[in-house]
């Protein structure tokens, strides 16, 4: 069942995000607008478009969220692979998405500091890492 929903949500989000789907939606609105005088702009006429758009929006939220969740996991796995494969990258960042907000804020502050150091260096080719920063910190403590 989950595999069927995965495939369905993939294709649904792919096609509903296309220019053809947009043109069909515009065409439906034009037809609805043109039909207004025929139905004398009645409450039922208005209810048709309101109900239709509400139902489509409600269902699309779940389809888009499912597709987004799958894409996010795939991106995290790809980034984890790159971090794990690079001997200079800090393995502490593998699965950083599981950190608490406080832990993420600590890491963000560290990278903000690294960015400031890089600006001061005026050397765009040098690299800084968490491990390098820890080594530097240990050296400073012992001196």
54-71: average pLDDT: 92
CB 94 within 8 A of CB 84: yes
Instruction: Kindly list the domain boundaries of the chain, sorted by start residue.
Output: 1-85, 93-143
**pLDDT tens for each residue of 66-93:** 989 999 999 999 999 998 888 878 888 8
Quote the pLDDT of residue 128. 61
Report the sign of the C-alpha dihedral through residues 51, 53, 58, 60, in that order: positive
**pLDDT tens for each residue of 91-127:** 888 889 899 999 999 999 988 887 787 777 666 566 6
Dihedral angle computed from the Cα positions of residues 138, 139, 141 and 142, in that order, rounded to the nearest 10 degrees:
120
pTM of the model: 0.62
């Amino acid at each position: 069942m989950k595999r069927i929903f995965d495939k369905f949500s993939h294709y649904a989000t792919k096609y509903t995000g296309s220019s053809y789907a947009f043109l069909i939606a515009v065409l439906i609105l034009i037809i609805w607008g043109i039909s207004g005088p025929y139905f004398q702009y009645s409450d039922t006429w208005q209810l048709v478009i309101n109900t239709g758009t509400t139902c489509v929006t409600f269902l699309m939220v779940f389809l888009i969220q499912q597709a987004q969740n799958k894409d996010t996991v795939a991106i995290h796995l790809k980034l984890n692979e790159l971090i794990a494969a690079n001997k200079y990258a800090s393995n502490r960042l593998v699965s950083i998405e599981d950190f608490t907000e406080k832990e993420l804020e600590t890491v963000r502050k560290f990278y903000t500091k690294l960015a400031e150091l890089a600006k001061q260096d005026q050397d765009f080719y040098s690299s800084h890492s968490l491990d390098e920063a820890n080594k530097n910190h240990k050296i400073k403590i012992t001196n």
